[in-house]
């Protein structure tokens, strides 16, 4: 039998948009669109899709694509003067042919390096020169790693907020729980960004949620009871975690989102929002997230969170 090899292929996606397909030796895969440098698919070695993309997503620039992992830069949400979530997700990125060394395993061949530099028109909207480099890599076990490096190439400092707006595919939102954020403080975007402290022993869902948890651990677990699957979320340089589900009323109001699709998705986002990042000239910031999907075994309806979070 021929040996399977990791591969990287540039091809056409929906509406002829360029995408890079990463494949790992054991069968896991990821698809990254150059439009927005957006990961639009992440499949395990059984071919199961782990990310949510709306059936009504619009793949037509300059519209943002609903699903996958949009990149929010240089602004998260409406925390600033730019359009919602900034402009990085609405730009066509280039493949970076001369990337700096990344601290990922060099024997891992399934990765792509992308780069975004502002045009003169971008500079009018946000008057700062920068280089944004992104590496998307698939680990041998199917882990998905995103590493962002943002360098200030201007003569003056600039400040930004950031998030990896990850849409996870879940069986049923009412069967999902998040562990690792209990007892933490959060800002509730549904209540004028007022600050509260999380009370429950784990986060479960029965209505709309839009919260920014602050000073979060580097590991968070998203448990999908019905699929017996746990997403383990590791992050570095990103102190906050955003949790979002629009629920039924907001879902119906979004033209690029199916009315009932809120039941099958959950956004958990590694972010830097509460304390914006300031870069001096020639300074560089790095933010990384690593996602893995592991089978979860339940004992009396609950996985031992310490085993997942520390394991």
Q: From residue 121, how far is each of 79, 85, 117, 125, 129 by CA, in Å?
A: 22, 18, 11, 7, 12
CA 68 to chain CA centroid, nearest Å? 7
Contact 35, 49 (CB under 8 A): no
Residue 135 counted as an annotated binding residue: no
Q: How many Å apart are CA 183 and CA 200, to the nearest integer?
A: 7
What is the bridge-based pairing of β-strands 284-295 and 144-152? antiparallel
Which residue, 223, 247, 240, is CA-closest to 298? Answer: 223
- Set 79, 85, 165, 225: catalytic member: 165
Residue 149 counted as an annotated binding residue: no
b/e map of 18-57 (b: 16 or more CB within 10 Å)? ebbbbbbbeebbbbbbbbbbbbbbbbbeeeeebbbbbeeb
Residue with tokens 């009396």: 300
Residue 84 counted as an annotated binding residue: yes
Token pair listed for 31: 């698809």
269 is catalytic: yes
49 is catalytic: no
Q: How many Å apart are CA 25 and CA 10, to the nearest integer?
A: 18
190 in helix, strand or coil? helix
- Of all residues in the chain, what percent are helix, strand and coil, respectively (each to 5)? 10, 45, 45
- Set 24, 179, 261, 269: catalytic member: 269
Query: Which residue positions form the known binding site for substrate?
Result: 66, 84, 89
Query: Which residue positions form the known binding site?
Result: 66, 84, 89
Give me the active site residues, please. 165, 269
């Amino acid at each position: 039998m021929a040996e399977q090899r990791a591969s990287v292929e540039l091809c056409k996606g929906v509406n002829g948009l360029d995408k890079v397909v990463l494949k790992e030796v054991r069968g896991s895969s990821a698809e990254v669109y150059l439009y927005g440098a957006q990961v639009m698919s992440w499949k395990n070695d059984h071919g199961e899709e782990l990310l949510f993309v709306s059936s009504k997503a619009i793949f037509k620039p300059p519209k943002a694509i609903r699903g996958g992992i949009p990149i929010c830069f240089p602004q998260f949400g409406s925390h600033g003067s730019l359009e919602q979530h900034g402009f990085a997700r609405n730009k066509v990125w280039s493949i970076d042919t001369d990337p700096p060394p990344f601290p990922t395993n060099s024997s891992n061949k399934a990765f792509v390096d992308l780069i975004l530099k502002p045009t003169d028109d971008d500079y009018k909207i946000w008057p700062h020169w920068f280089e944004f480099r992104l590496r998307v890599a698939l680990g041998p076990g199917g882990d998905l790693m995103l590493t962002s490096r943002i360098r200030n190439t201007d003569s003056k400092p600039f400040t930004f907020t950031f998030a990896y707006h990850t849409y996870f595919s879940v069986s049923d939102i009412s069967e999902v729980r998040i562990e690792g954020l209990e007892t933490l403080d959060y800002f509730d975007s549904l209540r004028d960004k007022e600050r509260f402290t999380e009370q429950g022993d784990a986060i479960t869902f029965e209505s709309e949620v839009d919260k920014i948890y602050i000073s979060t651990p580097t590991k968070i677990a998203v448990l999908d009871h019905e699929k017996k699957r746990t997403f383990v979320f590791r992050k570095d340089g990103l102190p906050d975690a955003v949790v979002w589900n629009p629920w039924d009323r907001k879902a119906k109001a979004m033209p690029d989102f199916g009315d009932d699709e809120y039941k099958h998705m959950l956004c958990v986002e590694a972010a830097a929002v509460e304390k914006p990042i300031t870069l001096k000239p020639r300074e560089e910031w790095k933010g990384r997230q690593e996602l893995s999907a592991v089978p979860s075994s339940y004992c009396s309806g609950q996985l031992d969170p310490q085993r997942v979070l520390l394991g």
